Structure 1
Amino acid sequence: MASDGSLPDSMRAQFLDDFNTPYSLRTVPVPTIGSPNEILIKVDAASYCHTDAVLAAGQMKPNPPSLPHIGCHEFAGTIVALPKDSSSTFKIGDRVGVPGRSFSPCGTCFECEAGPTPEDPDADPPGYSVYCSGALNNGISRPGGFREYAIVDSRQLSPIPDGLSAVDTAVLMCAGVTIYNALKRCALRPGQRVGIVGCGGGLGHLGLQFATKMGFKVLGVDNADAPLQVARNIETGARIVDSRVQSADDVAIEIGAEDGKQDRGDMGLDSVVILPESQKAFDYGIGLLRNHGRCVLVSFPERGFHVSARDIVFRDISIVGSLVGSNKTSREVLQFAAEHGVRAVLKTFPLARLNDLVAEYHKGEGGKLVIDMSLPD
């Protein structure tokens, strides 16, 4: 914004002009509000997600974005303009977190009309759903947060609690809400055991913190030195396992012995969350489960996973998926993180160095990478 509080005519944005190419920084007009539900924010922080890498590689199927494209579907900012006669509860100056889903949902499909149910009490109210197939998504099917100003849907937004910075918030708007929702889908009681396979990555290391603060006994699993170090450096009390060194069977038996179990089928975890797009990771996670355990899938590799019918039939293992969470859940995540001190391990870059951030991402060293708009070029 200008020093007098007025909005500038132009802004900088990072564009993906073609798949498998670097981003290009250009100056373009500041977007304008086009509907009663739209709000203009000044982007303060924009986080890089695995899905950004998938999209940039041209692997977003079956509907890749049109090019050129502005990515980022987890960001945070400050409201700088509202539509005329706005009925939104937000006001200019409010700090807000922005998830990717769901921009301008139809409001009339079965997803939008469903509302909360006994099976899903956290669902969005009637008229809006993050699962609306007709909606657009920030940073995926429409422009995202790798720019200085962005139009967002007021119904998407989560107020940022005191104590959370924009950088802290940005990583929670996809990575945070996704792993938090996955942990809720584990359907566990405090004191039960949960495993997070891929515990040193962007979602995983947040999951270690959320799960321990939820009162679960937590096991983290990874198979690379840098992510394992990220997980071990976080003071959660979780047990961290290197899957290159210990087999799932040995870990499950150790857990069973600690719990005083005698039967192998009763040894292991009550639930496990699978984050890597790896058959080995999936098999390892299933191997950690006790009979009647639940596997929650967050990853979705292009070729899928091979599932053993024997595990499902003879061990009664259930497998469910989890994709982000409702707006109620997004707001809950921010409040939970602020209250319990959940913070990402992260590195920050200025907007002009987005390509350096991408190069850092491909090193696979864990944690989260974030564009901090306050940093000088």
Structure 2
Amino acid sequence: MPSVHVQQIPETGADLEAAERDIRDPGRGEVRVRVEACGVCHSDVLSAQLAASYPIVPGHEIAGVIDAVGDGVDAWAPGQRVGVGWYGGIDGTCPACRAGDFIDCANLRTPGLAYDGGYADAVVVPVEALAAIPDALSAVDAAPLMCAGVTTFNALRRSPARAGDLVAVLGVGGLGHLGVQFAARMGYETVAIARGADKESAARELGAHHYIDSTATDVSERLQALGGATVVLSTVTNSAAMAATIGGLGPRGQLVVLGVDQASIDVAPFALVSQTRSVAGHPSGTSKDSEDTLRFAALTGIRPVVETMPMADAAKAWQRVLAGHARFRIVLENA
């Protein structure tokens, strides 16, 4: 059994530590992926709190190459470039799965929570977790698209918005900077909303047609002046900021919530009943959704804005993300 270098959480609540671990051969319906890059997501912190067992290796924005396949794996072969994201496997038997709603599986398996993730030289994953990476995308570019990318892309394409509609992206950070790119490339009149005038230049470079500084103006009033948003895609973790956009929705407009805050979204029922507005949550997407995201990004030139760090510096990268010091995305690379 080969050994691999990993960055692991040894026990609940502990910090990341470097370790060398044995890695098994893939079993039936599994593949082993040699990790080339792994994005650092704020949700990785859940590995220290909610993992199925310890020690656990975090990381659910994985890009690499298959180096071994288990029995029963016919559609994938060693040498293929693949990504693995938040969607890391399902039970196949819960009501959601039986209805074909796989992302809402009651026992969804996520790398770094259900089994070891991508802060490692290699990882063993269920075959249903795999998404093919197009040749046009590097591993570093593909990794963040496996979570931040598919979450924003899938939310937009499944929203009520149609080409030409006004779509606002709340937040221009790790998720939001991808949301702005996807919205613009999908043909929406795109509004970026963020705190401060200093983010306007970057937002417009990403493709935003309009910019709203939420510290300088009433967001809802500004959206209504632009015609009312069909969709507000919220990528922030601030419930008050989310609530401040609801009045800017047009008829049958929808606030789509991606970022998670523990506080409630404060909204008066009349604000929803009036104009038939709604608030909806959206998870990421299946491995097929991730594959669609990668192909769309390759086709349209969308790329995450990343800072790369060696895998050995995973603890430093994690602390930077948790402290809010990462402007967009950090990606860990194996040498």
TM-score (norm 1): 0.83
Partner of 2:55: 68
Within 5 Å, which residues of 2 pair with 1:100-249? 100-103=86-89, 105-115=90-100, 129-198=102-171, 200-223=172-195, 230-234=202-206, 236-249=207-220
Confirm whether residue 372 of structure 1 aligns to residue 333 of structure 2: yes
Q: 1:19 to 1:284 in 2, by over 3 A?
A: farther
The DSSP-based 3-state class of the residue aligned with 1:209 is helix
Code of the residue aligned with 1:252 in structure 2: it is: L
Per-residue CA deviation, residues 43-92 of structure 1 (Å, 9 max, x unaligned), is: 01100112113544x3xxxx5543322111111110000114x3421111
Partner of 2:299: 339
Structure 1 residue matching 2:226: 3-state secondary structure: helix
1:297-349 deviation line (CA, Å, top 9, x unaligned): 11232233223212112232111111011232211111100000110000001
Contact persistence 1:77–1:97 (CA under 8 A): yes
| AA in 1 matched with 2:78 | I
- The answer for the alignment partner of 2:5 in structure 1 is 12
Count the aligned residue pairs. 334
Q: Secondary structure at the match of 2:244?
A: helix
User: Which protein shows a greater Rg?
Assistant: 1
Q: Unaligned stretches of 5+ in structure 1?
A: 1-7, 116-122, 124-128, 257-267
The residue type equivalent to 1:328 in the other structure is K
**1 CA distance for matches of 2:325 and 2:229?**
27
1:37 aligns with 2:29: yes
One of 17, 23, 27 as aligned partner of 2:20: 27
Moved more, 340-349 or 321-330: 321-330
Letter in 2 for 1:159: A
Q: Which deviations, in whole Å up to 9, do the C-alpha atoms of 1:150-192 show, x marking residues without a partner? A: 0011111111111101111110111100011111232211100
Q: Distance in 2 between matches of 1:329 and 1:147?
A: 25
Residue aligning to 1:270:
230
After superposition, residues 275-290 of structure 1 pair within 5 angstroms as 275-290=235-250
* Distance in 1 (alpha carbons) for counterparts of 2:217 and 2:148: 27
CA contact (8 A) 2:8 2:18 kept: yes
Return the offset for 1:228.
5.3
1:96 aligns with 2:82: yes
The Cα shift of 1:142 comes to 1.7
2:225 is equivalent to residue 254 of structure 1: yes
Gaps of 5+ in 2: none
Q: CA deviation at 1:214?
A: 0.6
State the identity %: 31
The 5 Å alignment of 1:308-347 reads 308-347=268-307
| Contact residue 38 and residue 331 of structure 2 kept, 8 A | yes
Query: How far is 1:227 from its partner?
Result: 5.7
For residues 255 and 265 of structure 2, what CA distance do their matches in structure 1 show?
A: 12
> Cα–Cα, structure 1 residues 317 and 253, in superposed 2: closer, same or farther, change >3 Å?
closer
In structure 1, the partner of 2:69 is 82
1:102, 1:132 within 8 Å by CA — same for their partners in 2? no
Alpha-carbon distance in structure 2 between the residues aligned to 1:162 and 1:311: 47
The Cα of 1:112 is off from its aligned counterpart by 1.9
The amino acid across from 1:241 in the alignment is I
What displacement does 1:355 show? Answer: 1.7
What letter corresponds to residue 52 of structure 1 in structure 2?
D
DSSP 3-state at the match of 1:246: coil
Change (3 A) 1:188 1:249: closer
Name the CA shift for 1:181/1:45 in 2 (closer, same or farther; >3 Å).
same
Under a length normalisation based on structure 2, what TM-score does the superposition of the two structures give? 0.93
Q: Counterpart of 1:46?
A: 38
Q: How far is the alpha carbon of 1:360 from its aligned partner?
A: 2.5
CA distance in 2, matches of 1:153, 1:31: 13
